[in-house]
């Protein structure tokens, strides 16, 4: 813990530092030397064809996957096998999944309360107050007593965002948050994310929602075959893509 605290106060303005990261699944190499630095408050959109390693990359940031070479440092804490460091990082990093991954046996309110109680030892009353606050923020306080199975996909994803926010992370990871949604529900989730961005949250978002990227992202990163092919501010990325693969990808996704 001591190292974690010391490094966190470092003057450096970097939230996430990824240096030459490699990752293999057995024989298959998913990440081939990724370098990426993300400042506090920065919003990064990562896109790329499926199998390009973008999900793997953000799953390495909170160590749902372990990288085998290179360094990942989150708020000054390096991710190694050290469990304390992993805990410290997960305290700082919230995650939203493509499939929501709400706990189906718990009510919406309990989905937010239980992690606080189990992971942080927050007193129940305080946890409930916090949960209601964040459910209000994602605009579904009235659904608190329902079960996830009774909500629409968009509502479920907003609950998932509220659940992550309850832990008060300084960095949020979004792994294709709208890909499993019916088209008419995409907007409500994206709007929630835009509001979060406006509040200054550091965000790493894997998505194909280019409208969102244009509006919110500070930088768009394009990945292919486990490498970062192109990284630019949205204007430049969309109007003057340099790499051929980026151009091909954008042609496919924008038409």
Q: Which residues bind other proteins (CB under 8 A)?
A: 62, 64, 87, 90-91, 93-95, 97, 99, 101-105, 114-115, 118-120, 137-140, 147, 149-152, 154-155, 158, 163-164, 167, 184-185, 187-188, 191-192, 194-195, 198-199
Dist CA 7 CA 171 (whole Å): 16
- Min dist. Cβ of residue 57 to other proteins (A): 15
- Cβ(178)–Cβ(157) below 8 Å: yes
Least gap, CB of 149 to other proteins (angstroms): 4
Which CB sits closer to other proteins, 95 or 228?
Answer: 95
> Does residue 121 contact residue 86 with C-beta atoms inside 8 Å?
no
Residue positions counted in the chain? 255
Residue that is written with structure tokens 């500070």 in the block: 218
Distances (CA, A) of 242 to 200, 235, 247: 29, 12, 7
Starting from the edge strand earliest in sequence, which strands make up the sheet with 77-78, in order? 28-39, 14-25, 69-74, 77-78
Of 203 and 228, nearer to other proteins (C-beta) is 203
CB nearer to other proteins: give 69 or 105: 105
Q: Which is nearer to other proteins, 52 or 62 (CB)?
A: 62
Q: CB 199 → other proteins: shortest distance, Å? A: 6
- Rounded to whole angstroms, the Cα distance separating 192 from 135 reads 11
Minimum distance from CB of 228 to other proteins (Å)?
A: 23
- Direct distance between the N- and C-terminal alpha carbons of the chain, in angstroms, rounded to an integer: 50
For other proteins, give the closer residue by CB, 138 or 228.
Answer: 138
Cβ at position 43, least distance to other proteins in Å: 14
């Amino acid at each position: 813990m001591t190292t974690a605290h010391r490094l966190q106060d470092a003057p450096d303005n970097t939230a996430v530092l990824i240096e030459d990261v490699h990752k293999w699944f057995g024989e298959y190499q998913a990440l081939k030397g990724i370098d990426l630095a993300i400042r506090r408050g920065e919003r990064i959109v990562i896109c790329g064809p499926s199998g390009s390693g973008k999900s793997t990359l953000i799953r390495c940031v909170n160590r749902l996957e372990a990288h085998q070479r290179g360094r990942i440092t989150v708020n000054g804490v390096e991710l190694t096998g050290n469990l304390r460091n992993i805990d410290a990082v997960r305290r700082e990093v919230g995650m939203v999944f493509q499939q929501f991954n709400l706990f189906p046996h718990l009510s919406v309110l309990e989905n937010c309360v239980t992690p606080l109680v189990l992971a942080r030892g927050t007193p129940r009353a305080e946890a409930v107050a916090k949960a209601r606050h964040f459910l209000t923020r994602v605009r579904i306080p009235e659904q608190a007593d329902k079960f996830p199975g009774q909500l629409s996909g968009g509502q479920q994803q907003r609950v998932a965002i509220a659940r992550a926010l309850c832990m008060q992370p300084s960095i949020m990871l979004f792994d294709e948050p709208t890909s499993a949604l019916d088209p008419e529900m995409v907007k409500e989730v994206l709007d929630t994310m835009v509001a979060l961005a406006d509040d200054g949250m550091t965000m790493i978002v894997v998505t194909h929602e280019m409208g969102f990227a244009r509006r919110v992202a500070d930088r768009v990163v394009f990945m292919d075959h486990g490498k970062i092919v192109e990284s630019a501010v949205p204007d430049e990325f969309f109007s003057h893509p340099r790499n051929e693969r980026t151009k091909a990808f954008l042609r496919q996704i924008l038409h």
